Amino acid sequence: MSWIELIGALISAWAVWLTARRKPWCWPIGLLSVTLYAWIFVDAKLYSDALLQVAFGGLIVYGWVRWLQNLGDDGLVQIAPLPAAQAVTHLLLGAVGALALGFAMHRWTDAALPWLDAALTAFSLVAQWWQGRRHVAAWWLWIVVDVIYVGEYVYKSLMITSVLYAGFIVLAMIGLRSWRMARRQAPAGFETT
């Protein structure tokens, strides 16, 4: 399984690198990576993570369409603001989703880490939603989630994936910096949905 994990890790890193650079090709590359990782996570009995990959597939299609509708003249996606009320609502929905999924995984499966895996899954969905909607805040949430994922994957002996997620933290910091600069450089009055 480790060669599939390595290929999945490389493709995932490529997708996140493209996302940090605001390139729309991040989405089809990401679709390939989530397909590989769904299989990897089922094998590791991280069922919430496997379900997350399926949900990511849908959010990837959404994000791809959304980004293509909001490209600047330079071919890069334009950054959009995230109102505070929406951020709080989305984070509360993430918490409710974490509790519901954690309960289901704890009660009805042999999931290795049902509560932690469910929480990471729920908040990853929030981060992915924000990414598709082009919000800088996605990078902050990815940093927090990815730090915790590194520990989870070390615990589950998915060493290649833990190194990948450590790399994701670095890429998220790069993406955060890049997107913040792009947001500051946006033309006055530029607001898209």
- Could you read off the pLDDT of 78-136 as tens digits, one per residue? 999 999 999 999 999 999 999 999 999 999 988 889 999 999 989 999 999 999 999 99
* DSSP H helical ranges for the chain: 2-20, 26-43, 47-68, 84-108, 114-132, 137-155, 159-184
Are the C-beta atoms of 176 and 139 separated by less than 8 Å?
A: yes
Domain hosting 81: range is 2-184
Return the ∠ at Cα 78 (arms to 72 and 81), rounded to 5°: 150
DSSP state of 1: -
Q: What does pTM read for this prediction?
A: 0.88
Q: What is the pLDDT of residues 156-180, one digit of tens each?
A: 888 888 998 999 999 999 999 999 9
75 φ/ψ sector (left φ>0, alpha ψ -120 to 50, else beta): left
Indicate the SS3 state at residue 77. strand
Dihedral through CA 149, CA 152, CA 157, CA 161, nearest 10?
Answer: -10
Domain membership flag for residue 54? yes
Supply the pLDDT for residue 185.
Answer: 83
Q: What was the pLDDT predicted at 77?
A: 93
- 191 part of a folded domain: no
Distance of CA 31 to the CA centre of its chain: 12
Rounded to whole angstroms, the Cα distance separating 36 from 41 reads 9
Which comes out higher in pLDDT, residue 4 or 191?
4
Residue 78, in any domain of the structure: yes
Is 192 domain-assigned?
A: no
Is the separation of the CB atoms in 10 and 167 below 8 Å? no
Is 189 inside any structural domain?
no
Cβ contacts of 149 within 8 Å, gap of 6 or more: 120, 162, 165, 168
Rounded-to-integer distance, Cα 100 and Cα 108, Å: 12
Q: How many CB atoms lie within 10 A of CB 39?
A: 15
Q: Contact, 67 vs 24, CB < 8 A?
A: yes
Would 144 be classed as within a structural domain? Answer: yes
Question: Is the model's pLDDT at 189 over the cut of 90?
Answer: no
**Considering the domain boundaries, does residue 100 fall inside one?**
yes
Is residue 69 one of the residues assigned to a domain?
A: yes
d(Cα 141, Cα 181) in Å, to the nearest integer?
18
Total domains in the chain come to: 1
In the predicted structure, residue 1 carries a pLDDT above the cut 60: no
